[in-house]
Amino acid sequence: MTSAFAFAAGTSSSFLLPTTHKPKHSNLRYPLTAPTIRSESMATEKLGIKVETNPSESKLSQLGVHQWPKWGCPPSKFPWTYSSKETCYLLEGKVKVYPDGSNDFVEIGAGDLVEFPKGMSCTWEVSAAVDKHYKFE
């Protein structure tokens, strides 16, 4: 019984080729190209804070994010309490948010769509200047 595939050895990986495309020379190598990696949106929730990394432009448009007011601050550390739910989209910056009563934190940064629940008290530790769109509900 003959196999419909021939084994081809590569320098860093191996793969199967149909026997009709067998290399003529045993030392011929076929390089594999890396797959295209696309940044997908990923949503998580930790310590009551919802974070969606890399939301699609269509989602941002649907929410009207680019029409929301903007707020920014330099590197700093300060307490904050949310009197209403806030949704924000970080254009720039890096922040560790420490909810009161927890030793853990949620790290957010540029490209994150974040939702903070009404009533949350926390400390913001800004390590890179923040520029964000925000909306209170």
Domains assigned to the chain: 1-37 (no CATH), 42-136 (2.60.120.10)
Give dist(CA 77, CA 32) in Å, integer.
48
What is the spatial distance between Cα 66 and Cα 122, in angstroms, rounded to a whole number?
26
DSSP helix/strand/coil, 53: strand
Q: What is the pLDDT of residues 51-70, one digit of tens each?
A: 999 999 999 999 999 999 99
Rounded to two decimals, the pTM is 0.71
**What CA–CA distance (Å, rounded) separates 20 from 128?**
57
The strand pair at 76-81 and 106-109 is best described as unpaired
pLDDT < 50 positions in the chain:
1-23, 25-26, 28-38
